[in-house]
Amino acid sequence: MRNAAGLMLASLVAAFVIAGVWFWTATPRGNLTPPQAISAAKLPPAAPAKAGAPRDDIEVTGAIPEKPAIAPQPVKAACANPDALGVSRVVEIDTTGGPGFGFEHFKQLDFLADKEVVLTFDDGPWPANTPAVLKALADECTKAVFFPIGKHATYHPEILRQVAAAGHTIGAHTWSHANLNSKKITEQQAKDEIEKGYSAVKLALGTAPAPFFRFPELQHGPAAMAYLGTRNVAMFSCDADSFDFKAKDAAQIINTVMTKMDKLGKGIILMHDFQKHTAEALPALLRRLKAGGYKIVLMKAKTTFQTLPEYDEALVKDMKLPATSLRPVNSVVQTVSQ
């Protein structure tokens, strides 16, 4: 009996080992969480960080493993410029609960390593300037996050589609660039600005944007922040504001950005693809970042923003476009007999 039981036990162990090996080898790796994903899930809606909070209070949820379980994938297959700035790292953001990024307002998620930079551009799409920004980024084989204004997306949808086609991340920046922290704005108006902005971007792109949002003028209205939290939208402040909209020329923008980066050592840079001087500054600015040893990180979203149908439909109606344009053909036409 003892021998038989021992044999059975050995067989069972062997079976488990074989099953385990099969499971390991058969499990599709694609389902695994990328090693550099930032899990911001289960966080409460981001609140403005208290000024002067000590650094050791920072709750780091974006842990980056020392030894990734999966070898990092090449970010881009082909780049004609051998000395390009490129993209050193792509991070995927879980926007559940509305995490905040950018130390000017949100200090909870400190995920950038020293010399890592995220490029962000607001207020487009706009003729000439946005295409010039796209060209400068393409020449350096690098990527950025764009926060277009909804109205501008309806004026120039083809330019926004160029931004998407180049592989940049696209979020939203309200419908009309309203200050969502103004006492004059109601909670309903703030919601309308947010939702209509996203619906306009989706209408221009033909696909849903990332659940990434930047408040106009970095005016973080508490009610709007709480609303974005319920919509699982990540909020973007910045670490280095270029103040490019005030700059008298391209040189001033480059100087402002490089001075701030050299002081901070890393961070999210805020610029405007809407601004002529920014488009002019970008080629030289990207070279300066490369020469300074900075590396570009691209932030992507784990999921897309789910627009609300009533806003999609209202926008189409406002623009006097055919209402069927937002519905896929298979939801309109069904073969019932053949």
If you search the block for the tokens 């490029």, which residue do you land on?
Answer: 119
What DSSP assignment string belongs to 257-323? Answer: HHHHHHHHSSEEEEEETT-HHHHHHHHHHHHHHHHTT-EEEEEEESS-----HHHHHHHHHHTT--G
Quick one: 126 or 294, whose CB is closer to Zn ion? 126
Q: What are the Cα distances from residue 72, in Å, to 36, 59, 69, 89, 185? A: 9, 25, 9, 9, 45
If you search the block for the tokens 């996203």, which residue do you land on?
Answer: 198
Q: Is 241 in the site for Zn ion (CB under 5 A)?
A: no
Q: Binders of Zn ion: how many residues, by CB under 5 A?
A: 3
Quick one: 91 or 235, whose CB is closer to Zn ion? 235
**Which range, of 106-114, 211-219, 242-250, 315-323, touches Zn ion by CB under 5 A?**
211-219
Which residues between 150 and 179 bind Zn ion (CB under 5 A)?
Answer: none
Residue in 103, 106, 117, 123 binding Zn ion, rule: CB under 5 A: 123
The CA distance from 97 to 38, in Å, is 13
Q: Is 193 in the site for Zn ion (CB under 5 A)?
A: no
**Which range, of 38-46, 212-220, 228-236, 250-258, touches Zn ion by CB under 5 A?**
212-220
Cβ 274 to Zn ion shortest distance, Å: 8
Buried/exposed code over 24-52 (b: 16+ C-beta within 10 A; e: otherwise):
eeeeeeeeeebebbbbbeebebbeebeee
Cβ 269 to Zn ion shortest distance, Å: 14
Quick one: 97 or 102, whose CB is closer to Zn ion? 102
Site string for Zn ion, 58-77 (x = CB under 5 A): --------------------
**Which range, of 94-102, 123-131, 219-227, 290-298, touches Zn ion by CB under 5 A?**
123-131
Q: Is 273 in the site for Zn ion (CB under 5 A)?
A: no
Q: Which residues bind Zn ion (CB under 5 A)?
A: 122-123, 216
